[in-house]
Amino acid sequence: MDFTTYLKNYPSKSGRFGRFGGAYLPEQLVPAMEEITQAYLTICHSSQFINELRRIRREFQGRPTPVYHCENLSRKLGNCQIYLKREDLNHSGAHKLNHCMGEGLLAKFMGKKRIIAETGAGQHGVALATAAAFFGLECTIYMGEVDIAKQAPNVARMKVLGANVVPVSTGLKTLKEAVDAAFEDYLQNYKDTIYCIGSAVGPHPFPMMVRDFQMVVGEEARAQFQDMMGFLPDVVTACVGGGSNSIGFFLPFINDPVEIVGVEPLGRGEKLGDHAASMSYGTEGVMHGFDSIMLKDENGNPAPVYSIASGLDYPSVGPEHAFLREVGRIKYDVASDIETVDAFFKLSRYEGIIPALESAHALAYAMRRAREMDKGSILVNLSGRGDKDLDYVIEHYGYGDDFKDFDKPAQVQQVADVQPADETPAVNEDN
């Protein structure tokens, strides 16, 4: 396949990446999605919109975020050099704000008064509440009661930012019910409201818009690396939950001689329910309004998923990922919980950067590859910072004394007193 014209041709007018993607919607919402698509396709070419988004990124978000060479970590692993794109330094601590600010600005340009979403662990809710505060939009976030109880700090953040957090008390009181409640709200209120999806998933135009808003990450990183080094990295890698930080980071390299690898959570192992590696173990299906690769249970419904990183436990993946693997441009690999925790502690201890557990999956993969390659360079998208994960990690793994060692890869390292949690931690996907 020729990738020089890729961005012009994908997605198609109907939102397809090959046979993946599309928009599977209740009839009432077809005009609402059509309105968003048309508005976006017009606005994204307007210099007023582009200039305003640039100003926001520079002055409010603190972009560009730096590219950083992990000299200490690289030296410990051999001769391959690891670099990080520091999205953990993006305002509010992760890449999610990149698309939330884009969606907020779009809502403003369309004259909408209100943005809504559901949230699981609360990361998307916080990013969207931040955007709403900035743009002076009303913001309603639906969240299961069980999640509200587990995620007190993020609930507090959303409220301080002015969002209306609506507890959902039906069913299991977690993400699925929150999605239903947000959807119900949207059906009633789509005239003055936009439903802001938290990753490169959902019906067209969301996978396209979220990708476009996240591409600033890869564009910056490619130029910064080229400036620093005079050439491009051999491998670029990022973690894949719904697939927003990864697709935005990867696409600017699509036409380069660079190996691109998405990293999914292997969790506790290969058994269904123990991981959330949709690309690696899933099959094609339709859920949440789009066609992609997904993990299904025996009845064909979305399967239960697990990851130590609550932002990665989603049973499907953005349709563009499914397509780019099928045409052979992007590869997918996995990192287990234990490798991830190892990467989390090693980056903290040897570089002074505490990564989000989501991002630590990509770093774990990069560390494994660095040992194998023993030359060249790997650029990792560090999608977020790890403050939010500290309590969990300390409770289950202590302060990392078992993870100081570089002699043995993490998978074979004996971590004596670590028991898997009986209750899965924050099993609620956060997209």
Distance (Å) of CA 233 to CA 226, 262, 430: 8, 15, 30
> Least distance in Å: CB of 298 to ligand PLP?
26
Smallest distance from ligand PLP to CB 36, Å = 19
Smallest distance from the beta carbon of 405 to ligand PLP, in angstroms?
26
What values do phi and psi take at 50, rounded to 5? Answer: -65, -45
Say whether 378 sits in a helix, a strand or coil: strand
Number of neighbours of residue 13 by Cβ within 10 angstroms: 8
- Report the residue from 212, 264, 291, 358 that binds ligand PLP according to the rule CB under 6 A: 358
Catalytic residue among 91, 95, 124, 321: 95
* CA 340 – CA 140 distance, rounded (Å): 33
Helix, strand or coil for residue 328? coil
Active site annotation includes 70: yes
340 binds ligand PLP per the rule CB under 6 A: no
Site string for ligand PLP, 75-114 (x = CB under 6 A): -------------------x-x------------------
| Residues 6 or more apart in contact with residue 322 via CB below 8 angstroms | 17, 20, 279, 284, 292, 293
CB of 363 to ligand PLP, least distance (A): 11
How far is Cα 325 from Cα 177, in angstroms, rounded to an integer?
Answer: 31
384 near ligand PLP (CB under 6 A): yes
- 245 contributes a contact to ligand PLP by CB under 6 A: yes
Size of the site for ligand PLP (CB under 6 A): 21
CA dist., res. 172 & res. 170, Å (int): 6
Contact flags string 107-146 toward ligand PLP, x per CB under 6 A: ----------------x-----------------------
DSSP SS3 for 297: coil
Min dist CB 110 to ligand PLP, Å, is 23
Q: Are 160 and 187 in contact (CB under 8 A)?
A: no
**Which of helix, strand or coil describes residue 408?**
coil
Beta bridge partners of 68: 84
Q: φ and ψ at 228, to 5 degrees?
A: -65, -45
Give the residue among 72, 36, 42, 49 at the shortest CA–CA distance from 351: 72
Q: Which stretch binds ligand PLP (CB under 6 A): 140-148, 252-260, 298-306, 354-362?
A: 354-362
Is residue 379 within the footprint of ligand PLP (CB under 6 A)? no
Pairwise CA distance, residues 128 & 144, whole Å: 17
Closest to ligand PLP by CB, 125 or 243: 243
Told to check if 311 binds ligand PLP by CB under 6 A, we report: yes
Nearer to ligand PLP (CB atom), residue 147 or residue 430: 430
| Annotation says 139 is catalytic | no
Binding of ligand PLP by 430 (CB under 6 A):
yes
Active site residues: 70, 95
**Interface residue list for ligand PLP (CB under 6 A):** 94, 96, 123, 199, 239-246, 311-312, 356, 358-359, 383-384, 430-431
